[in-house]
Structure 1
Amino acid sequence: MDKPLESKVDETVIELKKAWKIVRDRNPFVAFSTGKDSLLVSSLLYEAVAPERPICLYSHHPFEFQCNLDYLETLRERFDIQIVEPFLGYFELMDRGIGFLTLKDPWCVPMLVGTGVLEWFQRQGVVSPQHCFMFRGMSGGEFSHKWHAKIEVYDRLNLPTMNPILGFKTDEILEVLRDRYRIPLNPIYEHMSRTYCICCYTSDQRRQAYSEKHHPDVCRKYYGQIEGMLFDSGLIQKTSVDEKYKTKEEKLERHGFVHWNRIKEQSVVGAVKQRMPPNGLCYHIRDETWIDTKRLLPVDGCWTREGRKIIFWNVAEEKCDCLIKRMLNCLDCGFCMVQCFNARHFNREKKKLELTNCLQCGQCINLKFCMGWKHRFWRRTIVEK
């Protein structure tokens, strides 16, 4: 390692040592993977706070590349690795109608990683994700690094975060791992430029070829179910932007799914709203199976149910509309735990979100952390009579 790089590493270690003193009581952890960036962050942090061993959280699901898991085992002596599991299996979410790639982000990031981490937070007894702290590996080689700062709030989880290696380039990271920490790289780098898990679909032909060669059975099942969900369900239509790439085969060959646009399914009337004097609102729910009164806890005591009717009194219309829309459309994915941390838990056996000890704070009216709404799955609408 040359002198400038060695100085950069030493400065980063000093920064991490200072940060650790401030956040050590905030359940700090490293967002861990088998990739080079998180390996460097973990190594730097361990050097900075030795002999303490910060927790490295690794999100695991049944469709991980086996070679990633084999490599992970070789790192256990070096790092305190804890595995968090996502709430729901990947294909179970598909079956419930959540699209893989939307106009915003791949949902696998918040669903497979985010919800498992949130559950880990709850087990630590923390009040909110804002009372935790994440060290994250994001280097200057990342496409989006210019949009991030060394200290920021990770918006998807409402989580304070430090990105200590933003100033490092890929070749510098590899050199530090090799010369300073003597950590062998994940063998998957021989075939891929990044360590993608099986949940992260990519249109890169080289990565697909590696997947097909080394994991043919899993790959066939994985891509087969994605194609079935996307192309046979009617949720996806071919774009007409470029005639040359209109067919399914041509789209897949050139771009994968990235340039396929999700379409909004025909809006379905979920409820009919009727005003009742003096300050009442009555919602006639079209299908009784859509009624789940746990959604109405924020205004408990101000509503009643009569068959398929939900009647509110002395509640703002905007709040009523939001609660009913959430009730009609919620996928019970559990990600809104970010917003209502102490009252929401996911029942793994029933695969349902449970609400207890509601403080009636009204935070759930904010849909910022509703994946169903964010990714355009709120199709059941309210019309006024």
Structure 2
Amino acid sequence: MALLTIIQFLVGLADQIYISIVPFLVISIEKLNSSLKAGIVSFFETLPFLTISFLAGVLVDRYNKKFLLFVSIFFSGLFLLFIPFFSFLNKLNWIVIGIIGFIVSSFSTLYPPSRDALIPYLVKNKEKLFYYNAIVQSSYQLALFIGGLLPPLILYLKNDMVMLLFVDGVFLIVISGFVLMISYNENQKTKSHFSISEDLRLYFDILRKEKSILILFILTALDNFFIMGLTNIASSLYIKNYFNLSAKEFALFNAFLSFGWFLGAIIISRLKFDEIRMLKIGIFLDGFTYIPFFFINDYKTALIFVFIHGLFIPLITISRTTIIQKYVKEDIRGRVFSMIYMAVIGFMSLSGLFMGFLGEFLKPNYLFLIGGLGGSLLGIISFSLKIFR
């Protein structure tokens, strides 16, 4: 578990650099309809989680999880290097960034279900799953916080976003080597041949027969539709167009969000609380804590409130992961994780596209009001739904 936690931390550093830079890179190089183009790029980056992530779940259930983690991290880093390559050729534009983002994300679909399906093999005491999920996720959020501080520092020393992405790609390739050092025993049910149509049908069978999984999938999808477009597209518009600030301030904004997430994960790991109730409370607060951004008029206050928002995110992420590990059968666990991450990242793509479209007509603070109210209402509705009972 220690090595996986370290890998999670390092991947978090790389992820945050990428997340902090790409939206601003698009907005900076595109002068016309920049917010819409940033939304479209965000859509392309997350489209694989809507279209091909079901294959990740199939592969995780059938093949070696350590190898899939390696493939995910290595090839994500390799294809990320194409952004500085096209920049060197003076051919970089929002379409190229979107295509590269799609390829990078295609390999990234393997990472979350492989990681989360691997954890039960590394944790001998199953009663400690919640605690270790919290540790792994808090290490990731600590990395996002530190990673959010790096871009402002590096961009202050050398204002070159493309160079930073080059370093990020190389860093991911190096991290992939650590994955091969993980040691564990897995009883694999590997098949040399499998039918995509059969596995697709199995996904629908799971949703049809397991109502709790269906409800969890729908709640996750809708929550991320309301919230995730705020986290990437609306936040970048908020910092650049509403406050007239730069990529350095946007990265710091994300760092405060991640630091709140990190502290929230540490606090929640100490709680003895029903995971299902915790999930529902988290969905409500995920939306409710974004509503104040409609009223905020200065950057420093925004940093405080995005930190507060981050504190409550682990109520969702840690409880949801533990629920799946506890209540879902081992032979379909990888598929269920891939479905959940399809909902998380896939609907983030739709949310980014939606918020990018609205951003052409509405001020950024109105986007936070719309998304925050939608998320809050979803949380209230979730209390009337029964999950895994």
TM-score range, shorter chain: under 0.3
Quick one: higher RCO (CA 8 Å, sep 6+), 1 or 2?
Answer: 2
Structure with the bigger percentage of strand: 1
Higher-Rg structure is 1
Scaled by the length of structure 2, the TM-score of the pair is: 0.22
